[in-house]
Amino acid sequence: MDGSTLLTSIWLLPFLTGMLIVPVGRANHQLIKKISLTGSGFNLVLIIWLTLLFAARVSLAETGVDTRYTVLYFTLNVPWFSMLNIAYNIGVDGISVLMLLLTGIVIFCGVLASWELKEQAKEFFILLNVLVGGVYGVFVSFDLFTLFLFYEVAVLPMYLLIGIWGTGDKEYSAMKLTLMLVAGSALIFAGILAMYYESGIASFDILKLSRIRFPESLQVWGFPALFIGFGLLGGLFPFHTWSPDGHASAPTAVSMLHAGVLMKLGGYGCLRVAMYLMPEGAQMWVEFFLVLVTINIVYGAFGAIRQTDLKYITAYSSVSHCGLVLFGLLAMTYVGLKGAVLQMVSHGLMTALFFALIGMIYSRTRTRQIHEMGGLMKVMPFLSVAFVIAGLTGLGLPGLSGFVAEATIFIGSFANANPINRICTVLAVLSIVISAVYIIRSANFAINGPLNEKFNALSDATLVEKLPIAILVFLICGMGILPGWIINLVNSAIEPIVNNVTR
């Protein structure tokens, strides 16, 4: 199978899996889950294969590559709607490969983590697969129209997934999340159409558009429209409020996927569409957004300090950490961008782990309030240790993935000589102390302390539950201890983007 076929099958496979589930009887939960697991597992194998192929190609092409322009691998460009120049234009660079890998891992673990799902499993897994198919589609598309199409496919099933299988005030959260994200989509679509018409070549091709210098009058509103549109999904302050409610209401696998992967679509879009295509606009707006994003980081961390619901704490920490992704992007330096990409991966793994653990703990204790827990280390050591590891990743402990990403972002951001960058970097670095406060606080309340007698009889994770946790912990440690392999993947992709952004 050549590379482009592989790419097509990667995004197609979840849809096929979803279709395979359709004829299965509603009550046959085991079969549904097995189909989903096989589908996502097989897809993960395909993605790993792709990654290996990609790594081989990149190391072959190490020398003599033109670093001015993005080089795509495994491309396929078939006209789809030729009247409007819409094409099925796929390909990958290092960032996309990494994102695909992250998605594959998170969904595989997500399916395992929702093994205990009882109600309406059929519909749940169909929607989940559709959603993942959309996410894969975004990461392989290099045509703005198809990218947007996949983006919508990825965002909309969220409404049903939260509204039906959620907990708490789920209808409200689902509605809020969907409406806010759709409002973002409207901004994105406006930006895309403006570029389509202003480019003069009536094309949706990202690579072609990246070589065009759009007039400043377009960029001055186009960039913020795109950046806010995608940033909404990336948890940009003050448009982040869907995130705490949405994550708190969503079922485990959806939280994992949403915080782990979908929020990365925001950062990915900001990078690939907003900044890459409108660099001059980015230069105009960078200081404004930098301040906004710094508020994001500090504010998210402070917001998490006073929360008492584990999911809210994690959701606010996601706001803070996704702020770091955007912060790295806005550093506009090679190191900063690289840090942002690393942070996407690291945060994806970390929140997936967090939400998986919270789901498992909740299914036992039936509460997510940290005050009502306590001493869980005694009854569920495996989950508790994993929780502490996830927490330590969040506060940027070296040896775990978070530190590699955060340190790279800070170094990259400090390298930008603009005083505002420097000041924001100082604030962002100091915010890691606040992260430490809320993480240690929640760990101390939930995991440590005297055991609540109610929980005496609770059991530790089952084998099916241990598997996703072990995979995620292993990858987090792997990325933290030996970051080299991930960095080698993205190195080649970052440079052309930086060159374009700072042109």
Partner 1 sequence: MADLFLSYSYLVLLWPFLAFLIIGLWLGRYNRRAAGLLSVLFSGLSMVCGIGITYGYYRRVLARPHLFPDKTLLVNQFDWLNISPDLTVRMGIYLDPISVMMIVVITVIGFLVQIYSLGYMEGDEGFGRFFALLSFFAFSMLGLVVATNIFQMYVFWELVGVSSYVLISFWYHKPAAVTAGKKAFIITRFADAFFLLGIIMVGYFIGNFDFQDLNAPETAAILNKMFMVKGIGVNLLALSCLLIFAGGWGKSAMFPLHIWLPDAMEGPTPVSAIIHSATMVVAGVFLTARMFPLFAASALTLTIVQLVGAFTTLFAAVIALTQHDIKRILAYSTLSQLGYMMFSLGASQVVDNPTTAGINPLGYSASMFHIFTHAFYKCLLFLGAGAIIHTIHTNDIGRMGGLRKAMPKTYWSMLAACLAISGIFPFAGFWSKDEILLGAWQSGHYLTFGVGLLSSGITALYMFRLFFMVFHGQTTFGRQLKTEDPLMSFSIVILAIPTVVAGYFSKEIFSAYFSSPMVWAADKQLLPGHPLWLPVCANLLAVTGIIIAWYLYGRGDLSHVRLLTRRRGIGYQLVVNKLYIDELYLFVTHKIIFSYIAAPIKWFDRHIVDGAVNMVGRFLHICGTGIRLAQNGQLTVYLGATAIGIILLYVLGRLPI
Q: Which residues bind partner 1 (CB under 8 A)?
A: 176, 179-180, 237-238, 240-242, 244-245, 299, 302-303, 305-307, 334-335, 338, 375, 377-378, 388, 392, 395, 397-399, 403-404, 407-408, 410-411, 414-415, 419, 422-423, 425-426, 429-430, 432-433, 436-437, 440-441, 444, 447-451, 483-484, 487-488, 491
Q: How far is the CB of 400 from partner 1 (least distance, A)?
A: 10
CA-based R_g, the chain, Å? 21
Nearer to partner 1, 37 or 295 (CB): 295
**In whole angstroms, what is the distance from residue 266 CA to residue 155 CA?**
11
**In whole angstroms, what is the distance from residue 325 CA to residue 262 CA?**
13
3-state secondary structure of 215: coil
DSSP state at residue 400 = S
Q: How far is the CB of 69 from partner 1 (least distance, A)?
A: 19
Nearer to partner 1, 176 or 264 (CB): 176
Which residue in the block uniquely carries the two structure tokens 């990494």?
A: 98
Nearer to partner 1, 130 or 432 (CB): 432
Q: How far is the CB of 356 from partner 1 (least distance, A)?
A: 20
Q: How far is the CB of 23 from partner 1 (least distance, A)?
A: 40
**In whole angstroms, what is the distance from residue 462 CA to residue 35 CA?**
21
**In whole angstroms, what is the distance from residue 120 CA to residue 461 CA?**
24
What is the three-state SS of 244-309?
HHHHHHCCHHHHHHHHHHHHHHHHHHHHHHHHHHCHHHHHHHHHHHHHHHHHHHHHHHHHHHCCCE
- The structure tokens listed for 283 are 């230069």
Nearer to partner 1, 114 or 416 (CB): 416
DSSP state at residue 83 = G
Per DSSP, the residues of 333-388 read: SHHHHHHHHHHHHHHHHHHHHHHHHHHHHHHHHS--BGGG---HHHH-HHHHHHHH
Closest by Cα among 1, 198, 26 to 118: 26
Nearer to partner 1, 149 or 415 (CB): 415
Asked, as a colleague might, if the bond just before 215 is cis with ω within 30 of 0, I would say no
Q: How far is the CB of 288 from partner 1 (least distance, A)?
A: 18
Nearer to partner 1, 9 or 491 (CB): 491
Nearer to partner 1, 207 or 395 (CB): 395
CA dihedral 496, 148, 222, 426 (to 10 degrees): -60
Q: How far is the CB of 313 from partner 1 (least distance, A)?
A: 11
CB 15 within 8 A of CB 157: no
Q: How far is the CB of 88 from partner 1 (least distance, A)?
A: 35
Q: How far is the CB of 307 from partner 1 (least distance, A)?
A: 7
Nearer to partner 1, 141 or 442 (CB): 442
Nearer to partner 1, 41 or 375 (CB): 375
Q: How far is the CB of 296 from partner 1 (least distance, A)?
A: 11
